[in-house]
Structure 1
Amino acid sequence: MHLAIVDSNPAALQTIRLAKNAGHRVTYVQSVRPQYRLTDANLALVSSVDRLVDGLVTTDADAVTEALAKCHAEHPIDFVTTQHEMSVEAVAAACRTLGLRGTSPEAVLIARRKDRCREALRAAGLASARFATATSEATTVAAAERIGYPVVIKPPSGAAGLLARVVHSTAEARAVWHGLRDGLDAVPEDWRGQFQRGLLIEEFLAGELVSVEIGARDGRFFPLCISGRSRWAGDGVTALGAFIPADLEARQADACWEYARQVCRAIGADIGVFHLEIMVTERGPVLVEFNPRVMGGGLPVAYRHATGQEVYAALLAILAGSDDFPAPPPRVDCTAVRVVIPREAGRLSPEATLAPLAQHPSVKEIIGFGENHTGPGSEVARGQALARFIVQEADQAALERTSEHLLRRLEPLLGVPLMAGRYSPGGHPVPRTRE
C-alpha cells in the first residue's frame, strides 16, 4: 500500500514507523508549522518516509491538492489520511478533486461542521442536542434564550476546545460573544478561517462524558475503546484528561457502541478510525462531536499502556483491508492520561520541574515540557497544556486521588495555579481531595 499522510499530531507520527515496519510505502506531507516539536526522534521518523513534501500549509486545500497530485502521478497513492484536526478539510477536498481514496469527503466535511453534523443526526432520527447557529450578538442571545440556559457556545469548526464556553445567562452570552470574537488572536493563524464560521449554540448536556474509538470499513465496524473523560470542576467543559476503561455499566457501553455505529452511518463515515465524544445522558448516548481521525493528545499513549497495543496499527490494518489485528483485551486496572493546565495566565518558575511525576511509582510515562512547547521561565496562557502524564491504578477513584495529589505537588514547583477538581456528571464539582 502507498499511504500518503498529510500532517500529524505528535502521537500520530508513530503511524509512519508502523507503516514502514509493515512494508508500506509512505509519503509524508509536513506542515510549514508542525504541531510537534522537531526533536531528533521526530525528525528520524519523518526522515524515514519514502517521500517527504516539506513546508506546506496543510490547511490550504489547493496546496494539498497540488502536492498530492504530483506524488500520485509519480507513484499511485492507495490511501490518503491525516491525523491533524485542522487539516482534514483540506485532505477531504484534495481527495474529492483527485479521486483519491480516503474517508468520504462528504462525511469529513459534515463532521467538521458541527451544526451540519447535528442536522444529519436529526435527519437520521438519532438523539442529538438542541442547537442553533449565530453570526451576531443578537442572534447569539436569541438562540441561547430559545434553547434555554445553560448552553455551550463555541465555533462550529473549532478544535481542542478552543473558545468553547458554558453560558448561564443573557449577560454571559453577550460577554462570550465579544470574548470569542476577540479571542481569535489566540488561535493559530492557519486555523482562523475554520474558526470564523459564526457560532454554534447548543444545549448543555448533563451526564457522563466518554470517548468512543471505532474503526469502519465497507459497512463493518471495529470497536476499539471507550474511555471516560475528566472535566475541570471550574467550568464543566475543559478536559483534564481521559481514563481507560470508562466507568460504564455493560448496557451503557453496548448502547454507546450501537449509537457510534449509527452516527457513522448517518454522516457516511466509511473507512478509518474515528473519535466520537458522547454524553451518556438519562435519555441515552448523545453525540457531543465527531472527529474524523484517531484520538489525539496523550490518549494514544494511555491506550498503549492500557492495552499493550498501538491504535495506529489498527488504523493501518483497516486501511490496508486486513482484519489481522486483535481486539483490545479487557482491563482489570485503570489507565489515565492527565493534563497539567494552568487556570490563570502567568510565567513558569525558572526552576519549574516535573520531578514529582518521575518519582511516583504509578506514573508510567511523562509527555513533558519539550513536547508541549514550554519550559522553566516560559510565559503560559490560561488553559495551555504544560505537560501530560500517564498514570495507572486499580480503579478510577484511585486514579483521581493520585492525579490530584500530583497536581498539588506540582503547583508550587511550577509557580502557577493549576486546574484540578473533577466535574461530576450530576453537575456538582468533585472537590479537591485532601491528604
Structure 2
Amino acid sequence: MTDPTDPCLLFVGGAGNATLAVDVVETAMRQARARGLRIHVTNQEATLAATPTVGALADAVSVVDFERPGESAAWAREQAAAGAKFDIVFGVREMAQEAVAEVADALGRPGNPPHAVHRVRTKDEARAALAAAGFLQPAFRVCEDPAAAVEFLAGSTGPWVVKPRDAMGSEGVTRIDSRAELDDALAFLPGEGAFIVEEFIEGPEYSAEGVFIDGVPHVLAITSKELLPPPNFFETEYVIPALLPEAARLDIEKQVVAAFAELELRYGQFHAELWLTERGVVLGEFHVRNAGGWIHRMLAHVIPGLEWFGLVFDDVLGRPIDKEALKPVRGSAIRFPTPPPGRLVAIEGWEEVLAHPALLHAELAVAPGDIIEPHRSVENRVALIAVGADTPAEAQKLVRALDASVRFITEPVTHPPTAP
C-alpha cells in the first residue's frame, strides 16, 4: 500500500490496447512503485476498460481524453485546485506526448515545452527546423493535394517517399520511383489532408535510444535496422548495440544530442531515427518517448540493471544517476517473421523457439485459419522473436537462425466470383 504523502506520478494516456503497449506501461509502473511513487493513470474510457491490468496497478484512474486538445491540462488544473499534487508527469504513447507536455506546463512540473513537442510530432516542421540549423535532412514538400506532389516530383530527382504528416509505425509510408506509382502511394495514406513527399535517403537506417538527464540527452545505445525491400518500410530486424565502427557511433551520438538541443527538448525518454550515408548522418524523425518494437526489453538485457523508465523518475526526484553504468555490455536482437501472405494452414517449429534459453520474448499473433496480409507496416506483424547474447553479433546470428527454423505454411486465398 502506498502512503498518500508519497510523491505521485501522473501517467497521462496510460496504455494502448496491445500486448506491447501494456507491457511497456506495466514495466514503467513497476519501476515507479520501486521508487515509492503513487500512480494516477488517465486514459480514454474505452481503452481503460480494455486494459484492466494497468488500472489494477494504479492507485487512481481517471477518464481523460488525451487526444482532445487542452482537455488533459484543464483536468490537471482542476485536480490541482482541489488539492491534488502530482510530482511527475509522464506518458509513453506517441499520440499522448503533446498532452503530457501541456499537463507538465500547466502544473509547473518538469517536462518538454508544448510547442517543441508539437513541432517534432509534425514531421515537416521538425525537418524545416533541423535543416535551418544546418543538419542534413531529406528535401521535402508538404502537399495539400496530388497536384502539389506531382510538381515536387517534376522538380526533384527520385526515388521519393510519400508519408503522412503525423503518424507512427511506418503507417501509410511508401517509396515510389516514378510518377506512375504516386496514385497507389496516396491511396495508402491514412485519412485525408496534407501529406509529405520527400527524397528517399540511400543508406542503412539506425535509431538512437536514450534518456534526458539534467535536461541533457544521454544516448543509451544505437539500434540497427533491417527492412523489407521497398515500396513499404516494414522493419524485420533490430540489433542492439548496432554493429558500427566507433567513429560512426560517436558521430551519430554527437548529431543526435545537438539536434535535441536545437529542437528544445529536455525531458523523458527519446527515440531518434537516422541514416548513415555518403554525405554523413542524415537525421530522420525525433520522438520524446521510448522506442517501440520491444526495444525496452532488449535494452534491459544489453545494459544489465537498466531501468529506462525509472531513470526519468530518478531524474525528477533528484536522485543520483551513475551515467558511466549506462553502457551496453551485451547484445540483443529481434526478428519479425514475414511469412508469405495467404490463409495460414499451420505453424511448425514455434515450440522450439519458445524453449530456447536465450529467448527474451516471443509472440505469435496469428493462428491457423487467419489471413496473413502483405507486410506493409507494424500493423501487419504476425510474430516476433527477441533474444539476448554476450555480443550483438551472436544475438543477430541466433535470432536469424530461430526465425529461419519456424515454418509458416500458407495457401492462396480464393475469392468468390463477383456477381454479374
Give TM-score, length-normalised by structure 2: 0.84
Q: Which moved more, 1:103-112 or 1:27-36?
A: 27-36
Change (3 A) 1:49 1:386: same
| Separation of aligned partners in 1, 2:98 and 2:367 | 32
How much has 1:102 moved relative to structure 2? Answer: 2.2
SS in 1 for 2:408: helix
| Separation of aligned partners in 1, 2:71 and 2:286 | 26
1:328 equivalent in structure 2: 326
- The amino acid across from 1:21 in the alignment is A
The yes-or-no answer on 1:359 pairing with 2:368 is no
SS in 2 for 1:269: coil
1:424 equivalent in structure 2: none
2:77 equivalent in structure 1: 69
The yes-or-no answer on 1:220 pairing with 2:216 is yes
Q: Aligned match of 1:311 in 308, 311, 315? A: 308
Matched-pair identity in %: 23
2:126 equivalent in structure 1: 117
How much has 1:385 moved relative to structure 2? Answer: 1.8
How much has 1:305 moved relative to structure 2? Answer: 1.8
1:32 equivalent in structure 2: 45
1:382 equivalent in structure 2: 374
- The amino acid across from 2:241 in the alignment is P
| Separation of aligned partners in 1, 2:226 and 2:397 | 13
| Separation of aligned partners in 1, 2:389 and 2:264 | 38
- The amino acid across from 1:2 in the alignment is C
SS in 1 for 2:243: coil
2:22 equivalent in structure 1: 10
After superposition, where does 1:187-266 map in structure 2 within 5 Å? 196-235=192-231, 237-266=233-262
Flag structure 1 segments of 5+ consecutive residues without an equivalent: 185-191, 418-435
| Separation of aligned partners in 2, 1:343 and 1:148 | 33
After superposition, where does 1:280-429 map in structure 2 within 5 Å? 280-308=276-304, 309-326=306-323, 327-331=325-329, 333-342=330-339, 344=341, 346-349=342-345, 354-366=350-362, 368-369=363-364, 374-383=366-375, 384-393=380-389, 399-412=395-408, 415=410
Q: Deviations over 1:69-93 (max 9, x none)?
A: 3433332222322101122233334
| Separation of aligned partners in 2, 1:282 and 1:36 | 50
- The amino acid across from 1:265 in the alignment is A
Q: How many residues align?
A: 392
- The amino acid across from 1:363 in the alignment is L
Is the Cα–Cα contact under 8 Å of residues 106 and 268 in structure 1 kept in the other structure? no
Is the Cα–Cα contact under 8 Å of residues 338 and 390 in structure 1 kept in the other structure? yes
SS in 1 for 2:29: helix
Is the Cα–Cα contact under 8 Å of residues 225 and 328 in structure 1 kept in the other structure? no
- The amino acid across from 2:31 in the alignment is L
Change (3 A) 1:177 1:221: closer
| Separation of aligned partners in 2, 1:405 and 1:148 | 39
1:53 equivalent in structure 2: 62
SS in 2 for 1:61: coil
- The amino acid across from 2:317 in the alignment is A
Q: Deviations over 1:137-175 (max 9, x none)?
A: 111122233332111111021111111111111111232
| Separation of aligned partners in 1, 2:193 and 2:142 | 9
How much has 1:129 moved relative to structure 2? Answer: 1.5
The yes-or-no answer on 1:23 pairing with 2:31 is no
Change (3 A) 1:254 1:37: farther
| Separation of aligned partners in 2, 1:108 and 1:297 | 22
Is the Cα–Cα contact under 8 Å of residues 244 and 336 in structure 1 kept in the other structure? yes
Is the Cα–Cα contact under 8 Å of residues 144 and 173 in structure 1 kept in the other structure? no
Is the Cα–Cα contact under 8 Å of residues 339 and 408 in structure 2 kept in the other structure? no
- The amino acid across from 1:71 in the alignment is Q
| Separation of aligned partners in 1, 2:69 and 2:43 | 14
Give TM-score, length-normalised by structure 1: 0.81
| Separation of aligned partners in 2, 1:148 and 1:34 | 44
| Separation of aligned partners in 1, 2:340 and 2:141 | 29
| Separation of aligned partners in 1, 2:49 and 2:359 | 23
- The amino acid across from 2:10 in the alignment is A
Change (3 A) 1:154 1:47: same
- Bigger-Rg structure (1/2): 2
Change (3 A) 1:306 1:397: closer
1:130 equivalent in structure 2: 139
SS in 1 for 2:406: helix
Flag structure 2 segments of 5+ consecutive residues without an equivalent: 1-6, 16-20, 413-420
| Separation of aligned partners in 2, 1:330 and 1:91 | 29
2:89 equivalent in structure 1: 80
| Separation of aligned partners in 1, 2:340 and 2:310 | 36
Q: Which moved more, 1:56-65 or 1:384-393?
A: 56-65
- The amino acid across from 1:238 in the alignment is F
Q: Deviations over 1:211-239 (max 9, x none)?
A: 11232244433221111112123547221
Is the Cα–Cα contact under 8 Å of residues 207 and 222 in structure 2 kept in the other structure? yes
| Separation of aligned partners in 2, 1:202 and 1:164 | 11
Q: Deviations over 1:336-385 (max 9, x none)?
A: 122234563x444477883232133443322x23xx5x544444443312
SS in 1 for 2:336: strand
- The amino acid across from 1:144 in the alignment is L
